[in-house]
Structure 1
Amino acid sequence: MVLKTELCRFSGAKICPGKGIGFVRSDSQVFLFANSKCKRYFHNRLKPSKLTWTAMYRKQHKKDIAAEAVKKRRRTTKKPYSRSIVGATLEIIQKKRTEKPEVRDAAREAALREIKERIKKTKDEKKAKKAELLNRNSLIPDLHHLEYRLLNRECADKIST
């Protein structure tokens, strides 16, 4: 459980809930003191920066223990280094990195052109197949129609004889 501690307005000490002495000035400002010693010194108008045991004095004279504990710890940074990736050695990676943008763009254009040609070729093949099927299917109904007419003639001949 976390308790909300407050700070003494004179000494800077932590005051737990239910402890300390409160004082409300005529301008409605609230002061909370850790003990009667702090309250007495405050009312006698002593400066906390002159008393060696207060937080203000310790901070002014750089004797603050908390500040020493919070010193920035330097993190050791790892130096970046390159490793080879599966399928590509370090030399290949370095070569690609040092490659000029014009060369890279040209290679990209060539690859795109090849892909587009391949797609166009497959589309043309599909079109040719479709046209062939349509031609084949267009002949079938005519044949079917001819067979139907022949059957009708045969039936008519049988009926008449």
Structure 2
Amino acid sequence: MKNVQGLLKVTPVRKIEHLYFNMLNFRFFKDSEQGQALFFGSPRLLSHLAAVPYILALEIVFFRKKRFFVRLGECVVGMFVLREKSGALYVSSLAVAPEFRRFGVATYILNHAYKLAKQLNKGRLELGVSKVNAPALRLYKKFGFAKKEERKWSLVLTKKVEIV
């Protein structure tokens, strides 16, 4: 089973799911394309990952961001957060469970976000990515994203949305 896109479903996260979803299942590894098990960042960053579901819940409540799960049956295989900006739809916290990477889940998320940006008449789709996340950078380049802004540890990428 190489591509699972036809079996995926995007669902808004219900309020209570914000609190019990385990972000640690979505491990972030440095040099993940070589399968090395080195956490990117410091032990302090790792300890903060335990608080991420609570932080995201606060973002949803106070900053009106919308969080989504991507499900394969009942299994959560991906997640992302969307926020409307002036003229753009911003994708953040895009993550795919390690055992489902390279099966088209991230591409499915990007296509979903692009279609939604089009429906909302947003001229751009934007996202942030770590400079060292080589697999994500390759995917975003393939999808047509270009660098909008460079920060110390990350890039903000943008893609023009064709509004009909």
TM-score tier after normalising by the smaller chain length? under 0.3
TM-score, reference length from structure 2: 0.17
Determine which structure has greater relative contact order: mean sequence separation of CA pairs < 8 Å that are 6+ residues apart, divided by chain length.
2
TM-score, reference length from structure 1: 0.18
Larger Rg computed on CA atoms: 1
- Larger fraction in strand: 2
- Larger fraction in helix: 1
